[in-house]
Amino acid sequence: MKFNQYFTNFVLLICLCNCAIGQSKNKGKLWYTKPASKFEEALPLGNGRIGAMVYGGINEERLSLNEVTLWSGKPVDEHEINPQAKDYLHTVQQALFNEDYQTADSLIRFMQGSYSQSYEPLGNLFIAFKQEGTPTDFRRELDINKAISNVSYHLNGTNYRREVFASHPDQLIVIRLTAEGKDQLNFSCRFTSLLRAKSQAQGSSLVMRGWAPIHTEPNYRNREKTPVVYDTLNSMRFASVLKVLKNDGQTSWQDTSLSISNAKEVVLLLSMATSYNGFDKNPGRTGKDELGSALSYLKQVEKKSFTSLETQHIQDYRNYFDRVSIDLGHAEKENLPTDERLNHFAKGTADNGLIALFYQYSRYLLISASRPGGQPTNLQALWNEIVRPPWSSNYTTNINTEMNYWGTEVANLPEMHRPLFDFIGRLAQTGAVTAKNYYHTSGWVCHHNTDIWAMTHPVGHFGEGHPSWANWQMAGVWLSTHLWEHFAFTMDVDFLRKQAYPLMKGAVDFCLSFLITNKDGYLVTAPSTSPENIYITNKGYKGAVLYGSTADIAMIRELFVDYLKAAAVLKQDKKTQQAVKNALEKLPPYKVGRKGNLQEWYHDWEDAEPQHRHVSHLFGLYPGTTISDASTPELARAVRKSLDIRTNESTGWAITWRINLWARLHNSTMAYDALKKLFRNANDPEIVKRGEGGLYPNLFSTCPPFQIDANFGGGAGISEMLLQSHQNFIELLPALPKEWPQGEVKGLVARGGFVMSMQWHNEKIVHASVFSKNGGLCRIKYGDHYQELQTEAGQNYTLKL
């Protein structure tokens, strides 16, 4: 506790210094001169549980609403999903070791199960204004310094203003409307939903209640006559309640609407809840009282003022957000609306301030979508308004879920990692059943997709899915590496002992049971795939299933190394440690192909799509740590060759993976090239035509379509260009591009719990300091200069570089 207080005081000192310097009115703001016309222009608010996209309309405001636990479906019994699957395992392995890949591709489809369920939109709150005329001085903004959306304009001698925020302390969305001038506020409110729902006035509140579907088909599967199925007995229920906290005018209620007239100031409170009662509880039969929950949040604040609500919200949010600041220059560009800045940057005009804003926006989005005790971020984080969203807006665990959390620790937001760890705990429970039923193994396993019900079986609708994605089984392995990363940054032994280690060991147990010796004497995965990619054998066969893909082995190697370090810290399970050490020695080594590339497949085969978006075989460089240009230079060169072949042209999230990989290779030129491609205008017809990544006007990233992962992966990439700590030392500015000749960053965290601050000019550091959270030896590298510091917890040190 004492060390935490030291760190809090340190952060407050930084904040006070920043405030003293002063900021432009647009710093840390996304702002626009017209309302949003579609989702990708609206501005996101969230508190980790509930969220809204604010459109900022003039005659009608729209808030599209989400509650993070509102999913279709109900708990899945993994015992009942394809009980015959395990009968095909040996046959598939036999085909693979006979090099009969076509048979393996065919037979493995018998090891598939049902698709995941979908994350659903709750509905909309519409606020219709009774006003006439054309407004002037319209401004719509999201202030990420405070997590508040503002809309303002002048009309008929009156200044109108709307403020909206999603409060985590009070678990409500708060809306304040004011009119200053000769006219007053006159408007009506109503709820709508694309789900089965009804709204009505109840007492002094407007209430909407409804049900999520019991089943929603993926948007890419159109074989069912009724793709959205309801069952009000077993489905998830939801409720939203709108209540007036303050109104200096008149309030009236109709059957399905609330009206305000002749007011100068109105404060509305919006509460949402579902019947979700846990991943293993039927939300219809044993669900929570969703209306009671929604009303309880309102009850707790009925005597609070708007000022009190706002103050608590800002204090809570800034406790996290203010830990990091970044300045890359070009502050003068802040006077342009954000969409114009994006357009200019996409056309070649430098805007380092926009890159800094994007980085802080990635942190804002994580704070808004992932809070302790809640659910992890899905494909769209928290914000979705489609019943059958792209890829079900689920947890896609062959890259996207993990990418959402890549930059969490460096960004000084370790608390936001916790929902993922809790989710891994739930996956381990269902995954233990899947491991036994599909692979005859101990431990736990998870495949390509999962959902709020923690399903872990292979998807594909029992044979329809392509094995290249449906039958990949390394999600549990990859996810478990996040557990060690959190410990590496925080040094929280209690977390390691109680939560991380048991889950890591379960994933290790699966690997030890699943690995099988091939004819070359190596322990390999069989069946195996390289996520979503296709090989071409020397005989010309195009397939997906093989044994011992590089991606599989790299992830297992990383987990094994992490596990051994964890077990050594805790001094546990010597028998398992020895088994892991023995297995590590028998894993196949990385191989350099005839093109000088890092082989993706066990054999030196061609790729059916050389510029494929996935680069899973490069996992060992990033996010893994078993390849580096310092310790394995030949392999690092092979990774570079693979990246040259793949190119930086790709979808949004795939571009951001490349940013991180180039940064690990200390190639600032190519890292920045990939970053520039991420900042392309996603609405550009040519970008849309080619299906490439970019940013929408609200800076949401596109796969396409919208996915949140590149927002988080891009943020991770920017921090990786500025700070690295994976090689047992902290490297400052390891991939600084010439386009960032001067700048300053404060609060980034290195492994070991060292909080770094740097200022540079003409591409050279002029000041750097480190704050030690935990004490201990701190090794610093900057260029060819090394420095070692023996630090004490709670102390700040100026570096001599």
Q: What are the DSSP calls for 116-171, one per residue?
A: P--B---EEEEEEE---S--EEEEEEEETTTTEEEEEEEETTEEEEEEEEEETTTT
Contact 731, 767 (CB under 8 A): no
Residues 430-437 have a mean pLDDT of 98
For residue 458, say if its preceding peptide bond is cis, omega within 30 degrees of 0. no
Three-class secondary structure assignment of 593-627: CCCCCECCCCCCCEECCCCCCCCHHHCCCCCCCCC
| Tokens 């996956």, located at residue | 427
pLDDT confidence of residue 377 = 98
DSSP bridge pairs for 162: 151, 177
Q: What is the 3-state composition of the chain as percent helix, strand, coil, each rounded to the nearest 5? A: 35, 25, 40
Report the mean per-residue pLDDT for the chain.
Answer: 96
Range in 203-207, 525-529, 533-537, 670-674 with the lowest mean pLDDT: 203-207
Question: For residue range 489-541, what is the model confidence (pLDDT) as tens digits?
Answer: 999 999 999 999 999 999 999 999 999 999 999 999 999 999 999 999 999 99
In the chain, the amino acid numbered 217 is E
| Tokens 């432009």, located at residue | 24
Q: Which long-range contacts (CB under 8 A, 24 or more apart) does 292-301 make?
A: 293/239, 294/239, 294/240, 294/241, 295/205, 295/241, 295/271, 297/170, 297/171, 297/172, 297/271, 297/273, 298/172, 298/205, 298/241, 298/243, 298/269, 298/271, 300/170, 301/170, 301/172, 301/245, 301/269
Q: Model confidence at 18, in pLDDT bands (50, 70, 90)?
A: very low
pLDDT confidence of residue 15 = 43
For residues 719 and 489, give the distance between their C-alpha atoms in angstroms, rounded to a whole number: 15
Residues 41-68 have a mean pLDDT of 98
pLDDT confidence of residue 388 = 98
Question: For residue range 338-355, what is the model confidence (pLDDT) as tens digits?
Answer: 999 999 999 999 999 999
pLDDT confidence of residue 3 = 43
Question: For residue range 80-129, what is the model confidence (pLDDT) as tens digits?
Answer: 999 999 999 999 999 999 999 999 999 999 999 999 999 999 999 999 99
For residues 687 and 455, give the distance between their C-alpha atoms in angstroms, rounded to a whole number: 35
pLDDT confidence of residue 204 = 87
Any idea of the CA torsion for 189, 194, 198, 203, to the nearest 10 degrees?
-30
Q: How far apart are the first and last CA of the chain?
A: 32
pLDDT at 774 over 90: yes
| Parallel/antiparallel/unpaired status of strands 148-155 and 136-143 | antiparallel
Question: For residue range 592-629, what is the model confidence (pLDDT) as tens digits?
Answer: 999 999 999 999 999 999 999 999 999 999 999 999 99
pLDDT confidence of residue 252 = 94
pLDDT at 257 over 70: yes
Q: Model confidence at 590, in pLDDT bands (50, 70, 90)?
A: very high
In the chain, the amino acid numbered 57 is G
pLDDT at 734 over 60: yes
Give percent of the chain above pLDDT 90. Answer: 95
Q: How far, in Å, are 471, 524, 591, 603 from residue 96 at the CA level?
A: 15, 11, 20, 13
| Nearby residues of 665 by Cβ (< 8 Å), 6 or more positions away | 621, 629, 636, 639, 640, 643, 735
Question: What angle, 0 to 180 degrees and rounded to 10, lies between the N-to-C axes of helices 352-369 and 306-321?
Answer: 110
- Got the DSSP string for 9-31? HHHHHHHHHHHHH---TTTTEEE
Q: Which two tokens stand for residue 464?
A: 């329809």
pLDDT confidence of residue 23 = 57
